Amino acid sequence: MPALSPTMEQGKLARWLVKVGDTVSAGDIMAEIETDKATMEFEAVDEGTIVAIEIAEGTDNVKVGTVIAQLAGEGEDASAPVAKPAAAAAPAPVAAAAPAPVASAPVAAAPVKTGDRVVASPLAKRIAAQKGVDLAGVKGTGPNGRIVKADVEGAQPGAAAPAAAAAPAAAPAPVAAPAPVAAALPDFGIPHEDLPLSTMRKTIARRLTESKQQVPHIYLTVDIRLDALLKLRAELNAALAARKVKLSVNDMLIKALGVALAQVPQCNVAFAGDTLRQYSRADVSVAVSIPNGLITPIITDASGKGLAAISTGMADLAKRAKEGKLAPTEFIGGTASLSNMGMMGIKQFEAVINPPQGMIMAIGAGEKRPWVLEDGSLGVATAMCATGSFDHRAIDGSDGAQLMAAFRELVENPLGLLA
């Protein structure tokens, strides 16, 4: 059982898609595993024959490192399994590349070497050869630092990845004591059904409890007029129609938050005990609802991307998030978050910070309201509420207020998003 997310300690083997005697190739889907983030497809990284399935499907609380299946490779005896190793044995027989939500960023392991050989899956080696990527400089995110497909797909041809000592994408979340177990509910004689929590729901419950208990939240709300942004959106969509790009209000708000974070960098930070990490790039995690939970795919460099690129990128990420096909690098990390419930008719809300990030922006619904116009007369405008939740250990109220003012200015004068 590999660690499919940085916070995963155990998982549920939801379903096997192979049986003993089947031959698999690198990239074949072998099983579905329910992690602390999502139900994820489990890919083979080696060719071979399944000689034993050690963990039956439906088994819950399988600890990371437990052998779940045995695979006989080329030249090995596929007639019988070997003695089952201990749970903490070295690399898991197979590894996966797929998604999950709300997580602190991992520190990628340096490439694993045996002598002068870099340990990588056969599929990763083939992709690297096709792209001209030097595996010696690629960081592996598979079990024990093994290089897998997702690592190579994100690497630049001929370019080595940063040294292992380089700073990770986000500060590590502080280690916290387990959340207290809720007392059993009394039976009041009301007809009911007790449904077991999924691994994802358990993790959401634990992490949100930890965030509210450990992170001192401060909330700042502003009213923002949307008329200029809606007008610009209509004009841009007319111009982009031939390219089959349709901007959403959310796409423009992602850009606005990215630019605001670049303008007020003291809010683009993470608290890490005795240090404060200052980010030089705004990567915006965007909350996307999926069955049984939430995931936050990331728009990297939101301030530097054009609106069309943000729109097409967000549409692709949201689609693959709901299909469970995101790579870990696409949802793990981020420097700040945006959660938009306006399309659900929610007027205003306060979102819970996703540690180790320092802030999250909560967006309410746009609605027609009485509004004092520029000439002092009373008119009607389309407006919304935006509420920033800030980690008060890292961000002062005055800095948070500057970010909210910058965000409002960009939304009300949206030509600044095109500069």
Q: Name the residues annotated as catalytic.
A: 392
Contact 172, 107 (CB under 8 A): yes
The phi, psi pair for 233, rounded to 5°, reads -60, -45
d(CA 231, CA 132): 46
Neighbours of 378 (CB within 10 A): 8
Cis before 370? omega within 30: no
User: End-to-end distance of the chain based on CA atoms, in angstroms?
Assistant: 48
Measured in whole angstroms, the distance separating CA 86 from the mean position of its chain's CA atoms is 32
Residue the block writes with tokens 């039976």: 187
d(CA 110, CA 145): 6
- SS3 for 34-74 is ECCCCEEEEECCCCEEEEEECCCCCEEEEECCCCCEEEECC
